[in-house]
C-alpha cells in the first residue's frame, strides 16, 4: 500500500491524497461505510458503487470471525469474493466489540477471553491470532489489536492500557511481518494511537506509533462519550505527531460536523455507523441540515430529499414519499434513507477534497458545519 500526499490547505491542516491498494485507489479525505457482518446494512453492493460512490468499506473482525466463520471465508477466497465487493476493504481488529462485552470478557497480557454474543461459546483473541484472522478475512488494511478505553477513564488505567496496547502492537507487527496473505495481494497494518483524553499519554502513544513506520496510522479511543472539543484537541495533538506521508485514520467518527472539523485537523480517513443506524430510525443528514422523517412537516413536501446530492435516491424520491414509508414502517424506508445518508457523507468528503484543492476549504468548512448541524 502506498500513500501519495497531493494538496495541503493553506489556512488549516486539511489535505488531499491517494491511498493506493491492490484493489484500487482511495481518494482522501474519505468516509468508509461500515459493513459489520460483510454487508452495509440495507444497501446493495451495486448502490455502494454507483449511487453512493463508496471507495472502501469496513468489515468487522469480531462478527465475521463468529459468523460466517473463517472456514467459510477461506473457502470463498476471502471477503471480497464472498460479498462481491471488488474495491478495498478495511477490517477493524475486533477489539472494540470485545471490550464492549464488559461482563463476559477477561483481559490479560496474553489477550482477551470472551464469550460469543450469539451462543455463549468461549473464544480467545490475541495480537497474533487477530492478525491471522484478518489475513483470512482478506482485508487490504488490517488494524492492530488494541484496548479501546472507555470515557471517563482514570489516568492510571489509561496509562496501563496504552502500554499494553503498545506491547500488543509489537506482537502484531512481528506476526504480520512473519506471515503472508492468503489471497495473493498485499495487506497493510495500521497501528492505533490510544491514551484516552490525557495529552501526555496521547503524545507518548502517537510518538510510539509513528516510530513503528507502518503504511498508515489510526487514532482510536475517541468519540466514546467525551465532549467534541476534547476529541478535537486530542486529534490535533496526535495529527501533529503522526508522519505527514502516511494516511491518518480517525476511528468511529462521526457526525458530518465532526468529520469536517477533523479534516481541518489533518485526518484523511473516517468511518462511523451513524449514517446507516440513524437512517433506520428515520433521521436524514442533508446538505441543508438534519431531517426527522417522522415529522408532520414533510407530509406533503414533494421536493426531492436533497437535490444537491448527485445520487439517484436523493434526487428521485420526495420527502413526502419517504415520510410515508417511514411512518408505515416499510423496509424500503430504511433502504432509501441508508443510501441517501451514505451518499451525503461521500458527497461531503468529495466536496471537502475539491475545496482543499481549490484553496477554499477553511471558509467553506465553517459555513458547512453550521448548515449540517441544524435541525430542519
Decide if 294 contacts 327 (C-beta within 8 A).
Answer: yes
- Measured CA to CA, the distance from residue 293 to residue 244 in angstroms comes to 41
CB neighbours of residue 262 within 10 Å: 27
Q: How far is CA 29 from the centre of its chain?
A: 12
The annotation status of 289 as a binding-site residue, yes or no, is no
Residues 11, 359: Cα–Cα separation, whole Å: 8
Q: How many CB atoms lie within 10 A of CB 71?
A: 9
**Active-site position among 9, 51, 92, 140:** 92
**Which of 248, 245, 246, 243 has its CA nearest to residue 266?**
248
Q: How far apart are CA 72 and CA 63, in angstroms?
A: 13
328 is an annotated ligand-binding site residue: no
* 93 has binding-site annotation: yes
The verdict on whether 92 is a catalytic residue reads yes
b/e burial code for range 144-164 (CB count within 10 A of at least 16 → b) = bbbbbbbbebeeeebbebbeb
Task: Answer yes or no: is 315 a known binding residue.
Answer: no
Question: 140, 268, 271, 306: which one is catalytic?
Answer: 271
96 in a known ligand binding site: yes
Q: Do 219 and 176 contact (CB within 8 A), yes or no?
A: no
Positive or negative, the CA dihedral 51, 56, 61, 67 is positive
Helix 256-263, helix 228-239: angle, nearest 10: 30
CA angle 138, 141, 142 (to 5 degrees): 75
User: Does 94 belong to an annotated binding site?
Assistant: yes
92 is in an annotated binding site: yes
Hey, which residues are catalytic here?
Answer: 92, 271
- Would you list which residues are annotated within the binding site? 92-96, 146, 194, 221
- Would you list which residues are annotated within the binding site for substrate? 92-96, 146, 194, 221
Amino acid at each position: 500500500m502506498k500513500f501519495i500526499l497531493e494538496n495541503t490547505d493553506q489556512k488549516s491542516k486539511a489535505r488531499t491524497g491517494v491511498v493506493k491498494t491492490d484493489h484500487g485507489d482511495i481518494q482522501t479525505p474519505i468516509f468508509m461505510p461500515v459493513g459489520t457482518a460483510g454487508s452495509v446494512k440495507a444497501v446493495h453492493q451495486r448502490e455502494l458503487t454507483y449511487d453512493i460512490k463508496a471507495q472502501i468499506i469496513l468489515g468487522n473482525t469480531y462478527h465475521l470471525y463468529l459468523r460466517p466463520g473463517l472456514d467459510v471465508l477461506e473457502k470463498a477466497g476471502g471477503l471480497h469474493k464472498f460479498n462481491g465487493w471488488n474495491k478495498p476493504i478495511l477490517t477493524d481488529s475486533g477489539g472494540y466489540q470485545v471490550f464492549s462485552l464488559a461482563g463476559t470478557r477477561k483481559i490479560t497480557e496474553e489477550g482477551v477471553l470472551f464469550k460469543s454474543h450469539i451462543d455463549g461459546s468461549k473464544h480467545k483473541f490475541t495480537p497474533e491470532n487477530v492478525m491471522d484472522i484478518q489475513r483470512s478475512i482478506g482485508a487490504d488494511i488490517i488494524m492492530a489489536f488494541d484496548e479501546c478505553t472507555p470515557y471517563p477513564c482514570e489516568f492510571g488505567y489509561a496509562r496501563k492500557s496504552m502500554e499494553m496496547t503498545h506491547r500488543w502492537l509489537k506482537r502484531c507487527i512481528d506476526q504480520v511481518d512473519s506471515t503472508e496473505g492468503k489471497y495473493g495481494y498485499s495487506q497493510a497494518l495500521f497501528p492505533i494511537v490510544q491514551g484516552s483524553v490525557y495529552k501526555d499519554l496521547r503524545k507518548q502513544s502517537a510518538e510510539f506509533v509513528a516510530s513503528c513506520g507502518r503504511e498508515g496510522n489510526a487514532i482510536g479511543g475517541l468519540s466514546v462519550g467525551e465532549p467534541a472539543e476534547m476529541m478535537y484537541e486530542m486529534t490535533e495533538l496526535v495529527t501533529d505527531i503522526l508522519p505527514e506521508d502516511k494516511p491518518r485514520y480517525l476511528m468511529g467518527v462521526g457526525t458530518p460536523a465532526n468529520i469536517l472539523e477533523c479534516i481541518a485537523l489533518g485526518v484523511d480517513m473516517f468511518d462511523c455507523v451513524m449514517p446507516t443506524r440513524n437512517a433506520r430510525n428515520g433521521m436524514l443528514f442533508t446538505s441543508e441540515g438534519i431531517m426527522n422523517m417522522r415529522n408532520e412537516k414533510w407530509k406533503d413536501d414533494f421536493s426531492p430529499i436533497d437535490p444537491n446530492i448527485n445520487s439517484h435516491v436523493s434526487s428521485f424520491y420526495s420527502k413526502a414519499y419517504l415520510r410515508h414509508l417511514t411512518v408505515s414502517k416499510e423496509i424500503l424506508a430504511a433502504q432509501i434513507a441508508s443510501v441517501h445518508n451514505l451518499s451525503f457523507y461521500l458527497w461531503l468528503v468529495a466536496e471537502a477534497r475539491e475545496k482543499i484543492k481549490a484553496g477554499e476549504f477553511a471558509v467553506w468548512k465553517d459555513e458547512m458545519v453550521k448548515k449540517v448541524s441544524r435541525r430542519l
